[in-house]
Structure 1
Amino acid sequence: MGVGKIYKLLISDRDKQEVLGIQWFISKYSLPISTIRTAYHLSDLLDDLENSVPDIVCIELDMIGEDKWEIFKFHINRYTKQVIALTAEPTFERAMQAMDLQALDLWVKPLAPPSVKHSLQQAIRNLSNYSKEVHSELTKPSVDYESLFIEDRNPYPYPVYLLKTEYVNDLTYLRKFIEQFDFYFEPSVFSTSDRIVLVFHHEFTETVTQAQRFLREWELKAGSPLAIVVHSQSGEESLHQIYLKLRKVMETTFFTGYQQVFETKRFHTWKDMDPFLTMEDQRKWVYMLEEARGNDIKKWMYEEFFDLAPPYPEPGLLRTRLTSILAQIRRFMNRNGMNSKDREEYYKNVFDKILYSPVLYRIVQDIILFSNYLVQSMEEQPSQVKGDAVEAAVSYMEKNFTDSKLDLKTVAAYVGRSPSYLSHLLSNKYNRSFRDLLLSMRIQKAKELLSSDESVQNIARSIGFNNPNYFSRVFKEYTGQTPREYRRFH
């Protein structure tokens, strides 16, 4: 076979006849195997693995109890390079176990000589190639932390993974999990404060498949959110450039959530956007909040943020847009005196979520819940007014315009609206400001009173003007005549 090295083999099977049969096959085909050890019990198998460190292991899966599987797999991963599985039960479960061991083949009893020969020859070829790879390690680019963070311009040709848990506290367990996971080839592991980089030193094709298997096993054992970004294409990029790209792709989790494997080659550049609300959007938010339109707020947020598709906007810009929305909510709170300690703490919590929460849909839900909490608080406040707020405001003004202290704030408080929002409603309906409406009511009453013999000074005071001269100026502004001229000609 053109192979100069001689290899060690360990056969573990409860059936001694099967063991003798495999030994006979090896002697018949003159395979380059110098040492053949045998084990008939699991304890002997584990001891032999640790002490003799065989190159190839033929193992009967049926002898491994379910409670011993993890310790057995640990020894296999640590002490041998090529595994061939045997079974008398050709079931799906046994096939999955063989795959879990990354076994070269699964022999089904009774054994067929051609299958035995083919698998052993393939194992030896794999070992020979592995030896060549190890021998060539000196020619491979060196990798350290500086390679990630400092540009060196040297292309890195092998796969790189970036792993990030949604919750930073899970990183410690993730590091331990990486130590126990059976990678196709062992990577170099680099940890930062909130993520882990796996740098491989060999080329292999199933980079995404391995990442998906890692994610499945992590989910079964840890159950906490994890995302993996895979860079597999060879090119002219340095490890530093690859790392920057991996980090940018990892930001996609902001839109899609975790429990996914991403590939750098499928990444779209960020889409530009204006992060601030338009004037129309601001008016819409004022209306929805003041009118307690909780369902409209929910619909607006869903349409704005849940229909996003690649290419996504840059996450930082989107967080700015979310703070712009929260600014409208803050103004609503200030207008309506909603500044209790509990509400302020709630507001700060939502603001922190916008800045730091790793997933968009959770921020959106928090804003919706906070908005609904505020509008519900408004609805629960005792109100003296039922029905249309604008009509109620005008009616209140008509009854109280003679009060010189009547102002927008007083009327707004009566109808349960903020002063600025009531002013907005009055302008929309009457195309006039609060001041114009109030003065026109007073001037209309003044016209009626000027038909009497009452002095101008007394009329001014009776309709809410403390200063008769100011009353005269306003009267002429609205009628084109002074009060005395009006009395003379009417």
Structure 2
Amino acid sequence: MITLAIADRDHDECVGIKWLSQKYSISFSDVYFASSVDSLLTTIETKIPSILCLEIDMLPKEQLSTIKKLILRYDIKTIVMTAEATFERALQALELRALDFWVKPLSPDKIMSSLRALYSESSKRQKGEKTEERSHLTQPLLHFEDILQEVEGTSFVQHITLIQPMHTEVFSTLMPFLKEYEFSSKVSVWPLNNEVAVIYERPEDKNIHQYEEANRLLRDWNELYKEPLSIVVYSSNDSSISLHKKYIAARNAMEMKFFKGTRNIILVEKEIKWESIDPFLTSSEQRQWITMLESGDKSGIKHWMYEQFLHLREPHPEPGLLRIRLTSILAQVRRYMKKFYLDTEPFETSYQKIFQTILYETVLYRIVQDLMLFIFDTIDSSVLQQQNATVDVVEQSIQYIQTHYKNPDLSLDEVANHVERNASYLSHLLKTKQGQTFSSLLNQLRLMEAERLLLHSRLSIQEICFETGFKNANYFSRIFKQKNGVSPREYRAKNNT
């Protein structure tokens, strides 16, 4: 006697699954419904169903372990259903030892294939017959833990494709599309964190044209839906690499969409290595940006941005480092905005928007284009502000100090003369608006450049001292240690190990 329990908050889903099992002559002796956790607990403990179709979304996290204990105690074959094709749901299915994972909307063919297989296996077990491997289920050879952690014996998987939509809500459309898609070989389709893994798991399939198949899949998807997909095709015949390592390599390769854009296929045969760069603007680059902004050199800015970000060659810098570099540029623009009182509405809203774009936009060239448009708008607005003579004296002073701090003879009088103010009055403004004296501000800029040179150059301590505008090496070492707690030599040794 084989029984089925269907636990789903949607009564129509329960009725539909029962109707399909009857229509296709799967002879469950009884079918039980449960629409809440309490009714599910009662059904399991009083009916002990052979097979359970469980909507995982109905379970509070604190109830998961209780249901798991009952499933293991009564050896109930479990299928997990969800409307959320997320990494968390996949892990919960794994914890419940689910034999299959259904993503709503449910496919009738998928339902029947899984129920028939589990019914047949349960029937044979009751008769004492040896059960055969369920080769016609979606996951005949692999389990979630094979992907998510290091497991021996999974190196037979030679091909893995990761598919990532731009927006997570597209999962509800993507999963049924992939489940019903006609692949050239037997595959497993697994919803993961923010992508779907398609795994070609038959070791005998040596000649799968995976890249061509990905092209066909992307073309077929684009004919039906507007939502862009990013696809990574990872193929390796190296029998020493586990499925987990291949998945990690493919997931890292997905970052290449930052450079190549969406609606693209990225072919990878080995793990991607990123180039390490110093993401922060050097002092000379900071001065160059001050000059370009002050002079309104849009052509120069465009050339600089294109050379730095859109003419990159492999190995590419790690995308996170490029985002930091873009925020360093934005910081220069921010100071320029403050100089001309552009840190108010509507400029402030535009600034916050471009900041969010740098942090979260998935494609580099879009960030670059949006940032350049923002900079050009800022330059145009500053021209209008200058016509109204609303220039921030403090910001002018700071920019002059940034440009000339390498001069060991730079003085407050020189800066005051540049901004056409009395030295005492300028000193008061700096202390009031910046909370720092002229000397402390100057030393701060010099020490920041010294720290960078200690980490990213081979200049001696003495050379760095003079390069950053200090006249005396002992004085340089003393104030460096006051700021960092260690001497320049100790700082370099500590951070270069």
TM-score where L is the length of structure 1: 0.52
**1-structure distance, mates of 2:209, 2:416:** 77
Contact 1:423/1:434 (<8 A) preserved: no
Is 2:243 the partner of 1:239?
yes
Which residue of structure 2 lines up, in the alignment, with residue 177 of structure 1?
Answer: 177
Contact 2:145/2:151 (<8 A) preserved: no
3-state SS of paired residue (2:231)? strand
Which residue of structure 2 lines up, in the alignment, with residue 331 of structure 1?
Answer: 335
Deviation of 1:360 after TM superposition, in Å, equals 0.5
Q: 1:290 to 1:77 in 2, by over 3 A?
A: same
> Can you list the C-alpha shifts for 1:142-162, whole angstroms capped at 9, x where unaligned?
322222211123333232110
Which amino acid letter does the alignment assign opposite residue 226 of structure 1? Answer: L
| RMSD, aligned CA | 3.9
Is 2:252 the partner of 1:223?
no
> Can you list the C-alpha shifts for 1:48-91, whole angstroms capped at 9, x where unaligned?
xx99xxxxxxxxxxxxxxxxxxxxxx999999xxxxxxxxxxxx
Deviation of 1:224 after TM superposition, in Å, equals 2.9
Which residue of structure 1 lines up, in the alignment, with residue 161 of structure 2?
Answer: 161
Which amino acid letter does the alignment assign opposite residue 222 of structure 1? Answer: Y
Is 2:270 the partner of 1:271?
no
Q: 1:439 to 1:254 in 2, by over 3 A?
A: closer
Which residue of structure 2 lines up, in the alignment, with residue 258 of structure 1?
Answer: 262
Map 1:39-438 to 2 at 5 A: 142-158=141-157, 159-202=159-202, 203=205, 204-234=207-237, 235-265=239-269, 268-381=272-385, 383=387, 418-421=396-399, 435-436=413-414
Which amino acid letter does the alignment assign opposite residue 175 of structure 1? Answer: M
**2-structure distance, mates of 1:221, 1:161:** 20
Deviation of 1:250 after TM superposition, in Å, equals 0.9
Q: 1:437 to 1:297 in 2, by over 3 A?
A: closer
**2-structure distance, mates of 1:426, 1:228:** 49
Contact 2:234/2:268 (<8 A) preserved: yes
Q: 1:151 to 1:266 in 2, by over 3 A?
A: closer
3-state SS of paired residue (1:227)? strand
Which amino acid letter does the alignment assign opposite residue 192 of structure 1? Answer: L
Q: 1:419 to 1:136 in 2, by over 3 A?
A: closer
**1-structure distance, mates of 2:308, 2:341:** 29
Contact 1:225/1:259 (<8 A) preserved: yes
3-state SS of paired residue (1:160)? strand
Deviation of 1:170 after TM superposition, in Å, equals 2.7
Deviation of 1:300 after TM superposition, in Å, equals 0.9
The answer for unaligned runs of 5 or more in structure 1 is: 1-49, 52-73, 80-132, 386-409, 443-490
**2-structure distance, mates of 1:426, 1:314:** 32
Percent identity, aligned pairs only, is 32
Q: 1:438 to 1:303 in 2, by over 3 A?
A: closer
Q: 1:182 to 1:381 in 2, by over 3 A?
A: same
Deviation of 1:213 after TM superposition, in Å, equals 0.8
Which amino acid letter does the alignment assign opposite residue 152 of structure 1? Answer: V
Deviation of 1:215 after TM superposition, in Å, equals 1.1
Contact 1:427/1:433 (<8 A) preserved: no
Deviation of 1:438 after TM superposition, in Å, equals 7.0
Deviation of 1:325 after TM superposition, in Å, equals 1.1
Deviation of 1:185 after TM superposition, in Å, equals 2.5
Contact 1:254/1:359 (<8 A) preserved: yes
Deviation of 1:134 after TM superposition, in Å, equals 8.5
The answer for unaligned runs of 5 or more in structure 2 is: 1-22, 25-106, 113-131, 421-497
**1-structure distance, mates of 2:324, 2:417:** 43
Q: 1:153 to 1:351 in 2, by over 3 A?
A: farther
Q: 1:436 to 1:315 in 2, by over 3 A?
A: closer
Contact 1:229/1:262 (<8 A) preserved: yes
**1-structure distance, mates of 2:381, 2:308:** 25
Deviation of 1:223 after TM superposition, in Å, equals 3.2
3-state SS of paired residue (2:230)? strand
Deviation of 1:435 after TM superposition, in Å, equals 1.9
Q: 1:426 to 1:282 in 2, by over 3 A?
A: closer
TM-score where L is the length of structure 2: 0.51
> Can you list the C-alpha shifts for 1:405-459, whole angstroms capped at 9, x where unaligned?
xxxxx9x669x98333466789999x9767249789x9xxxxxxxxxxxxxxxxx
Contact 1:226/1:258 (<8 A) preserved: yes
> Can you list the C-alpha shifts for 1:94-153, whole angstroms capped at 9, x where unaligned?
xxxxxxxxxxxxxxxxxxxxxxxxxxxxxxxxxxxxxxx999889x98322222211123
Which amino acid letter does the alignment assign opposite residue 378 of structure 1? Answer: S
Contact 1:185/1:200 (<8 A) preserved: yes
Equivalenced residues, count = 289
Contact 2:404/2:410 (<8 A) preserved: yes
